[in-house]
Amino acid sequence: MQTDLVYWILFAHLPRWTTLKTNKLIVRIIHNQKITFEEFFSLSHDEWVETFKLEDKEIKDLETAKKELPNYSFLLENMLSQGYELIPFNSSDYPKTLKDNLKLKFAPPLIYIKGNKSLLNDDTIAIVGSRKAGKRSLEFTKNIAINATKEYKCVVSGGAKGIDQKALEESVNSDGHSILVLPQGILTASTLMKKYYKSIVEGNLLMVSAFYPKAPWSVGLAMGRNKYIYGLSKEIFVAQSDSKGGTWTGVLEGLDAGRIIYIRNPEEDEKSANDLLILKGGKAVDMNANCIQVNQIDKILLDEKIKEEKIIQPTLF
């Protein structure tokens, strides 16, 4: 099993390979051909071409990655000795919610965790929103997080400033279950590990990363992390969104995928894009996450306002 995990690290971090491309090859190896990764890498160039339809560039990528196996083996031993766990896509421990929401296109081939992995099987919710959140948005976040604890639901968060941090803190302070999705490699998150050590040891918090274990924080990884927050969550609540940025894009992608997303109904004096997201199909909720009916006349007026102000919304892709 440990040898197998070394190959999973290799596949999970193939340079310039999309998640979909990697996952499709893994499926062909394990499920279609029913061979191990070790057997796959013992095949000849011609067998890779004939059986797996690989192109020369792809073969070169795989051959280059194979040279890193000794380093990955050392990395794996180091991680296991420190209590980290690796969960590959085909493991029974891999979160079904993540797989169902992101499918082969976006579900990471491998996730790294530290903490109570049974939290991956909890009923999960995400409370998302702006880093520069207003008072009402923070109050909404607190209400949802505390209610989640009372209902034995797990709060999924990215830990960023604003709504993310508020959701995590309220969940931790109420002794609830939390999953913290990292915007970096799990081995570079020592500060967060120390901060939440007590919650991790008590089994109330799980650290998760889909990135290379030694990858430092970056804006790109922080943006990429958002889809894993949404993917790990069965329910999504939006406290506050701007008309651009990670929250806006994540909600639109979720709505486009047919997911039900709950949006805090904003007050008239608020400057946010919450009302736009409701107009686009989000479910309006009050401060305690109770669904409310938005007046259709208000929707029509809002639509006219959008046209008058010529607000141009970013495309999803």
pLDDT for 315: 42
Q: Over 50: is that where the pLDDT of 297 sits? A: no
Q: Over 90: is that where the pLDDT of 213 sits? A: yes
Q: Over 50: is that where the pLDDT of 316 sits? A: no
Q: Over 60: is that where the pLDDT of 313 sits? A: no
Domain segments of the chain as ranges? 2-81, 117-309
pLDDT tens figures, 218-277: 999 998 999 999 999 999 999 999 888 889 999 999 999 999 999 999 988 888 899 999
Cα–Cα distance, 281 to 252 (Å, whole number): 9
Q: Over 60: is that where the pLDDT of 132 sits? A: yes
Token duo for residue 240 = 């506050």
**What pLDDT band is residue 15 in, cutting at 50, 70 and 90?**
very high
Higher pLDDT, 229 or 310: 229
Report the percentage of the chain scoring pLDDT > 70: 92
Q: Over 80: is that where the pLDDT of 298 sits? A: no
- CATH 3.40.50.450 holds for 117-309: yes
**What pLDDT band is residue 307 in, cutting at 50, 70 and 90?**
low
Tell me the whole-structure pTM to 2 decimals. 0.90
pLDDT for 22: 98
pLDDT for 251: 93
HEC letters along 157-217: ECCCCCHHHHHHHHHHHCCCEEEEECCCCHHHCHHHHHHCHHHHHCCCEEEEECCCCCCCC
pLDDT for 295: 63
Q: How far is CA 236 from CA 64, 124, 183, 285, in A?
A: 40, 9, 19, 12
pLDDT for 245: 86
H-helix or E-strand containing 47? helix 45-52
Whether residue 166 contacts residue 191, with contact meaning beta carbons closer than 8 Å, is answered with no
Contacts (Cβ under 8 Å, ≥6 apart) of 310: none
Cα–Cα distance, 303 to 317 (Å, whole number): 23
| Residue 101 identity (one-letter amino acid) | N
Cα–Cα distance, 13 to 22 (Å, whole number): 9
How does DSSP assign 96-154, residue by residue?
Answer: HHHHHHHHHHHS-SEEEEEE-GGGGGSEEEEEEE-SS--HHHHHHHHHHHHHHHHTTEE
Whether residue 150 contacts residue 125, with contact meaning beta carbons closer than 8 Å, is answered with no
